[in-house]
Amino acid sequence: MAIDLEALYFDLHEHPELSFAEHRTAAIVAERMTDLGLEVFAGIAGTGVAAVLRNGDGPTVLLRADMDGLPVGEETGLPYASEARGVDPMGRDVPVMHACGHDVHMTCLVGAVERLVDERSQWRGTLIAVFQPSEERDGGAQAMVEDGLYDKVPTPDVVLGQHVSGFPAGTVVVHSGPAMAAVNAITAKLFGQGGHGSRPETAIDPVVMAAAAVMRLQTVVSREVSPKQTAVVSVGAIHAGTKSNIIPAEATLEISLRAFDPDVRAKLLASVERIIRAESEASAAPRPPEFTYGEDYPVTFNDPDATERTAAALRSALGDAHVGDPGQITGSEDVGILASAVGAPLVYWFLGGFAPELFTGPLGTIEPTLPANHSPLFAPLPQPTIDTGVTALTAAAREWLGAPGGA
């Protein structure tokens, strides 16, 4: 019996789990892979799942989907909207949502594996399906590699994957070369001296310190990076205090940096630390700030030759009018680590997920009025998004797998 992919998608969307806590999710995809006859390796890096289908001599193709949700409260109003909650790394109870489409990615990969199993008489080689934990935090791809992923599954000849985003449903877009930015996550803890809100002269206020740092950080891109180069500095979270009349002793900033050029990346890191240290000193902080580093993902680089070959297969499967080029995207991914760890080429594309009539620009242009990934309103259309994603993954895999009777 064919897998009901829409039902699977609704279930995954309604029950998201945070990074490295994808226990229910991992059990579901492992069960689907087992039912399809693949050899399943579960528990890689805690919750990661890899499944292998050996179908004679030929190339080895790895298809990847990520599994984790985000600490976002869903506001879509969908009948299958998430009401899930989880505990974040700081011990806080938070809402959880598939606000970046990882539920779409998993559903499409399950569907592609099912189709490739059904079509196994038409190809030869080895198929690997990887369901990766923690793309959103702390690097699940690297964790799977370090936990022996490639001791369990064969070395792939190519790594393929896709990400749903703000493009028309029924289309895909892919960019050759540096496709997505490198990212660094920094947590900066600033130290003050707590006191009563009515007597600020007896305290050193880390909230003011943090506010000054946030504003000064806006000058890094506008005044320290050339307009010809791409860079992003975003402060995504500020944590400080418990009550309006208490000056706290500490404040914490969570910062995300993006760049394509290694020199720009190094400049961002140095500038952020310099500014936060300077604001701390200017405020007469009792001790210098502390920096903790999180995600450290490289540029997502699509191998040009492999991209040309894969894009041709996508155009053949979907039609020329349904395959475009988005240019460079300042979002970031760790999928490239699965490829670079074994010296394999990577091809990673974007899958459209929104009503085509909402778009006015050429294919590859993101419509700014639509809810972006990580928004509480992010809601890809189930169809034709799922069918297109299954077709794209299947066509790309078939392009690299061998033909019956040959390599």
Given the residues 22, 66, 68, 74, select the one marked as catalytic. 68
* Residues 233-291 pLDDT 10s: 999 999 999 999 999 999 999 999 999 999 999 999 999 999 999 999 999 999 999 99
DSSP code, position 155: P
Q: Is 250 annotated as a binding residue?
A: no
Specify the amino acid at residue 16. P
Q: Global pTM? A: 0.93
Q: Name 165's bridge partners.
A: 352
Residues of the chain falling short of pLDDT 70: 406-407
Tokens of 63: 């298809």
* pLDDT for the residue 230: 96
- For 159-187, give the DSSP string: EEEEEEEEEETT-EE--SEEEE-EEEEEE
Q: Is 15 annotated as a binding residue?
A: no
Q: Domain locations in the chain? A: 5-179+299-400, 182-296
- For 217-260, give the DSSP string: HHHIIIIIS-TTS-EEEEEEEEEE-SSTTEE-SEEEEEEEEEES
Q: Name 239's bridge partners.
A: 252
Query: What is the CATH code for 5-179+299-400?
Result: 3.40.630.10
- Annotated catalytic, 250? no
What does the alpha-carbon distance between residue 295 and residue 137 come to, in Å, rounded to a whole number? 6
Write the CA distances from 285 to 208, 253, 276, 292, 384, integer angstroms.
Answer: 11, 16, 11, 19, 56
Q: Name 65's bridge partners.
A: 131
HSE at residue 144, side-chain half, CA atoms within 13 A, is: 33
Given the residues 103, 114, 135, 157, select the one marked as catalytic. 135
- Annotated catalytic, 325? no
Would you say domain 182-296 falls under CATH 3.65.10.10? no
Residue with tokens 């009563």: 196
Pairing of strands 182-191, 250-259: antiparallel
* pLDDT for the residue 138: 85
Q: What are phi and psi of 212, to 5 degrees?
A: -65, -40
Q: Is 239 annotated as a binding residue?
A: no
Q: Is 136 annotated as a binding residue?
A: yes
What does the alpha-carbon distance between residue 260 and residue 181 come to, in Å, rounded to a whole number? 5
What does the alpha-carbon distance between residue 304 and residue 124 come to, in Å, rounded to a whole number? 25
Q: List the 172-173 sheet strands across, edge first.
A: 39-44, 48-55, 125-132, 60-66, 158-168, 346-354, 172-173, 323-324
Specify the amino acid at residue 174. V
* pLDDT for the residue 90: 84
